[in-house]
Amino acid sequence: MPEARMAAALRTSQAVRISLRYALVCAVALAMFAAILLAAGKDPLKAYADTFTYTLANAYGFSELLVRMTPLLLAAVAVALPSRLGLINVGGEGQLYLGAWMASAGALMFPGLPAWILLPLVVVMGFLGGAIWGAIPGVLRAAKLVNETIATLLLNYIAPLIVSFFIFGPWRAVDSSAYPQSSAFPEAARLPSFFNTRIHAGILISLAVLLAYWLIMEKTRWGVEMRAIGGNPEAAQRLGIPVAVWIVIALAIGGGLAGLAGMGEVMGIHGRLRQGLSPGYGFTGFLISWLAGGRPLGILFMAFLFAIITSAGDTLQITQGLPYSVVNILLAMILFIVLARRPARGTAK
Amino acid sequence: MTTPLVLGVLAGAVLSGTSLLYATLGETIVERSGIVNLGLEGILLIGASVGFSVAAASGSAWLGLAAAAAAGGLGNLLFGWLVVTRKANQLASGLAMMFFGFGVSALVGAPYVGAVIVGLPKWRPSWLDGLPWVRSTTLFNYDLLTWLAVPVAILVWWALFRTRWGLGVRAVGESPAAAFAAGRNPAVLQYQALSSGGVLGGLAGAHLSLSLTLTWAEYMTAGRGFIAIALVIFSKWHPLRAIAGALLFGGAEALQLQLQARGSDISPFLLEMAPYLLTILVLLAWGGSRRLAAPASLGRTFYGSD
């Protein structure tokens, strides 16, 4: 079939063009960020070189990129799925924390269960925690009461307080007087890790979720209905698509996926519930999804890229004595350039 | 004990409400011109960090205040370049500004973490000292920004509703095309609204670091920018109603601080949730009626006559 081959070739050349464009955007953003670092009296070239050697130049660094990609992929799909309906989920951060909290509740309440029950249980509870946190703005939006953007943003500030309440209060481990955290989870609740690195089974969940997202959006009736709502909610309603129900479901599932990211962090890496679980994974997930236009392959590529970029935050902290959050400037620069190049079409609600 | 608690909450409500009121007023002007700036949180952080750093470096809180106002205005001009000149999506641009504020404030504030500054001077008119129930509290012992908060709200109301400029800004917010047809330049008016709103946002952030906490800490605005955006809706885009909203939310924060200071049994983490929960509840209660009050072209990009 020559048409199919031509279409494939066209797609490949398009992918190459898109990749080149993003490489250019990143180069400009890196140059602008370097100028800002220089102005602050820091050494941007050393920072970039250090980031490169810490991440791409050795096997351990590369494994840490995959560790970082695990929550980023989930946080990105958490934004991408509702975005197909025209919904803006900026609550990934809060949903991640609530997922971590619910998963921890499962592990701490049923410490005696065998792994084959406990592990699925904490995964499901992590999903449910995030799903609850996503469903609240979903219901408020579906009932046309509160805009989901502002509701998800506000809930971001409540979820970490719930975590803090529990680790300073009921769940506080007796052996951690200086550093409040929960007691260690039973081994049966921990996600297995691979190759003597911190890469854990969460990466498999992330990739499976990304694949499922692609399948559902491209190959099922659900995907068609969701895109119909995103295109024109009123027309979709007239066609008999239950728009309000879809809004709640999409935000709940999105929240649940961010919750899985939180579950992965506590069950795969920390082994306890702590403060500061996420250096803004939820927000970075929003950027990834937005830059990738919600497309699965784009999300995979962008998550890898942002794993490297956010690693630069660690480098700044370790070698340049700057706070991690300074890397947000670099994220903002990338966004500014993309926004300035690509004018909005139509209206933003 | 009840009377001092009430007085403490009242005094705290005014102090905490000050930055909220400035932020809300700034966002009100911006939204009246048809633009939503979700990046207000970032502007507040920039104001707080620039104000504190300049005050710590120069030894003058007033210089810090001026720098914060200028930085807030510049921040909003950058936002304006994106959404007015480049016609970028407003929500995404606002979130970009939020990230920008996270990063810039961390960079600016980093050398001054733990620095000690002399904050904005506070004073109480001497005739109020005569009242016995006032003398023992911090009531009416305010800095200049707090004393000017209500007058500024009235000024913003006057500018928006009683001047030709305000008429132009509101016309752009309702229908840029009609304003354009009437000979006004929507882009210029939006830039003016954005820069004045940014100055107010910068002052709001500076009040936090230069008067309330006297320290700089990353993310210290803790979502006040988003609460202020909700307050704009709560006050139905009206500067004078914003006073009541800021007092209500300042009161929620002050009550929480007072309870904590008095050794209440309730966990501080639960108390800290109060302002965010209250915000969501307020949005819920106002949800149905707000569409009528919102500027008709809020959030829409104006592509001009071409």
Banded pLDDT at B3 (limits 50, 70, 90)? low
CB A50 within 8 A of CB A57: no
Instruction: Return d(Cα B117, Cα B26) in angstroms, integer.
Output: 27
* A139: contact with B, CB 8 A cutoff: no
Q: Do A283 and B82 touch (CB under 8 A)?
A: no
Q: What confidence score (pLDDT) does residue A132 get?
A: 95
Q: Do B89 and A168 touch (CB under 8 A)?
A: no
Strand partners, B123: B142
Structure confidence by residue, pLDDT tens digits, B92-148: 899 899 999 999 999 999 888 888 888 888 877 777 776 766 666 666 778 888 899
DSSP-based three-state secondary structure for A200: strand
Q: What confidence score (pLDDT) does residue A150 get?
A: 86
The proportion of chain B whose per-residue pLDDT surpasses 90, expressed as a percent, equals 45
Put residue B83 in one of left, alpha, beta given phi > 0 → left and psi -120 to 50 → alpha. Answer: alpha
Structure confidence by residue, pLDDT tens digits, B214-237: 899 888 988 899 999 988 988 889
Beta-strand ranges (E) seen in B167-276 are: none
* A169: contact with B, CB 8 A cutoff: yes
Alpha helices in A84-179 (DSSP H): 92-109, 115-142, 148-168
| Statement: residue B191 has pLDDT above 80 | yes
How close does chain B come to A312, measured CA to CA in Å?
Answer: 13
Structure confidence by residue, pLDDT tens digits, A238-297: 888 888 888 899 999 999 999 999 999 999 888 888 888 888 899 899 989 988 888 888
Q: Which residues of A touch B301 (CB under 8 A)?
A: 343-344, 347-348
Q: What confidence score (pLDDT) does residue B292 get?
A: 60
Record the pTM: 0.88
In a 13 Å sphere around the CA of A104, the CA atoms on its Cβ side amount to 30
Please name the residues in contact with B225: beta carbons below 8 A apart, sequence gap of 6 or more.
B23, B39, B40, B41, B42, B43, B44, B45, B98, B201
Please name the residues in contact with B287: beta carbons below 8 A apart, sequence gap of 6 or more.
A140, A143, A144, A145, A146
Cα four-point dihedral sign A60, A61, A62, A64 = positive
Directed axis angle between helix B186-207 and helix B164-174, to 10°? 100
Q: What confidence score (pLDDT) does residue A263 get?
A: 94
CB A216 within 8 A of CB A223: yes
Q: What confidence score (pLDDT) does residue A255 get?
A: 95
**For residue A182, which phi and psi values (nearest 5 degrees)?**
-75, 170
Structure confidence by residue, pLDDT tens digits, B15-56: 889 999 999 999 999 999 999 999 999 999 999 999 999 999
Choose among A97, A16, A12: nearest CA to A281: A97
Please name the residues in contact with A122: beta carbons below 8 A apart, sequence gap of 6 or more.
A103, A104, A106, A107, A189, A263, A267
- The residue type at A307: A
- Chain A CA closest to residue B107: A326
* A273: contact with B, CB 8 A cutoff: no
Residues in chain B: 306
Q: Do B95 and A162 touch (CB under 8 A)?
A: no
Choose among A148, A136, A139, A126: nearest CA to A79: A148
What distances in angstroms separate CA B164 from CA B160, B169, B170, B201, B206, one per listed residue? 8, 9, 10, 24, 30
How close does chain B come to A192, measured CA to CA in Å?
Answer: 33
Across the interface, of B92, B288, B299, the residue whose CB is closest to A349 is B299
Q: Which residues of A touch B249 (CB under 8 A)?
A: none
Q: What confidence score (pLDDT) does residue B134 get?
A: 64
Write out the two tokens for B200: 């107010």
Strand partners, B142: B123
CB A163 within 8 A of CB A89: no
| Statement: residue B306 has pLDDT above 70 | no
Give B116-142 as a DSSP string. ------EE--HHHHTSHHHHTS-TT-E
CA angle centred on B196, ends B46 and B34, rounded to 5°:
105
Cα four-point dihedral sign A42, A44, A46, A50 = positive
Choose among B229, B236, B209, B241: nearest CA to B276: B229
Instruction: Give the count of beta carbons closer than 10 Å to the beta carbon of residue B61.
Output: 25
Q: What confidence score (pLDDT) does residue A183 get?
A: 81
CATH for the stretch A44-340:
1.10.3470
Q: Which residues of A touch B99 (CB under 8 A)?
A: 283, 287, 328-329, 331-332, 335
Structure confidence by residue, pLDDT tens digits, B240-256: 999 998 998 888 888 88
* Residues of chain A below pLDDT 50: 344-349
Q: What confidence score (pLDDT) does residue A130 get?
A: 95
* A40: contact with B, CB 8 A cutoff: yes
Q: Do A336 and B229 touch (CB under 8 A)?
A: no
Beta-strand ranges (E) seen in B141-217 are: 142-143
In a 13 Å sphere around the CA of B2, the CA atoms on its Cβ side amount to 0
What distances in angstroms separate CA A345 from CA A257, A348, B107, B246, B302, one per listed residue? 29, 8, 34, 35, 10
Choose among B55, B224, B218, B75: nearest CA to A326: B218
Give B258-273 as a DSSP string. HHHHTT-SS-HHHHHT
Cα four-point dihedral sign B71, B74, B76, B82 = negative
Cα end-to-end distance, chain B, whole Å = 67
* B292: contact with A, CB 8 A cutoff: no
Residues of chain A numbered 303-332 and touching chain B (CB < 8 Å): 321-332
- The residue type at B145: L
Q: Which domains does chain B have, with CATH numbers?
A: 3-117+137-293 (1.10.3470)
Instruction: Return d(Cα B242, Cα B7) in angstroms, integer.
Output: 22
Structure confidence by residue, pLDDT tens digits, B253-292: 888 888 877 777 778 888 888 888 888 888 888 765 555 6
